Each structure stands twice: as structure tokens, then as C-alpha cells.
Amino acid sequence: MRNRRYWGVILLAVGTLPACDSFGVKSSYTMERAKVEQVLQAESNGDRFVAYVVTWNTAHVVVSDPLAKSHHHEGDEIQFMAQRMELPGRHKTLSFALIER
């Protein structure tokens, strides 16, 4: 139970970062939908990794399931977040995360 409380605090803190310009971080996201083209999975000692390959803006990208709880198949439509972040020094990143309802 103790670890769950810390994760809640970490997620709350990360969720407030886009509003804090004092760090010089700019962040935005869009919600997207696409069909699963390939399922990527791995398991090790009870730990699980799940991600999906989809086509987004004509590019094949990997949409990660950070909680590894989903069980989609090829052809399923998934909803995901496309997040853009600009860090100090003009370093820009783009990441994709599964959003389950």
C-alpha cells in the first residue's frame, strides 16, 4: 500500500509540470485513435510489458501501455495520447501512451 501512495504523489507532481513555466518545460497533447497493426509484449518474472504499433500521421509509432493491463489484438481500435514536450535548450520530444476508458 505504501508504494501506491508514492505513485499517486509522483503522478500528481508530474501532472502539474505543464502548468509550471518556471522549469522552462512546454507541454501539450492530443487524443488520437488508430487501429493496432502489431502487438508487442514481453514478460519476465511476472512483470509485463505491452505496446502497440499503429500508424499515426503516416508514420509507424509505438503506443506504450504504462500499466501493462491492456489486451488488445491486431485490428482493434485504441485511443492514445500523443504528447509533445519542449525542454530547455530547444530539445523536443514526442511520446505516445495508451489511454484506457
Taken in order 48, 35, 53, 18, is the CA torsion positive or negative? negative
The helices-and-strands tally (H runs, E runs) of the chain is: 1, 6
Residue of 27, 39, 45 whose CA lies nearest to 75: 39
Residue 67, pLDDT above cutoff 60 = yes
pLDDT value of residue 59: 97
Judged by DSSP in three states, 101 sits in coil
Average pLDDT for 94-101: 91
CATH 2.40.50 is held by the domain 2-98 = yes
pLDDT value of residue 6: 37
Q: Would you kindly state where each structural domain of the chain is located, as residue ranges?
A: 2-98
Residue 22, pLDDT above cutoff 60 = no
Backbone angles phi, psi at 70, to 5 degrees: -80, 160
Residue of 25, 35, 36, 33 whose CA lies nearest to 84: 25
Contacts of 44 (CB under 8 A, 6+ apart): none
pLDDT value of residue 89: 80
**What does the mean pLDDT of the chain come to?**
83
pTM for the model: 0.74
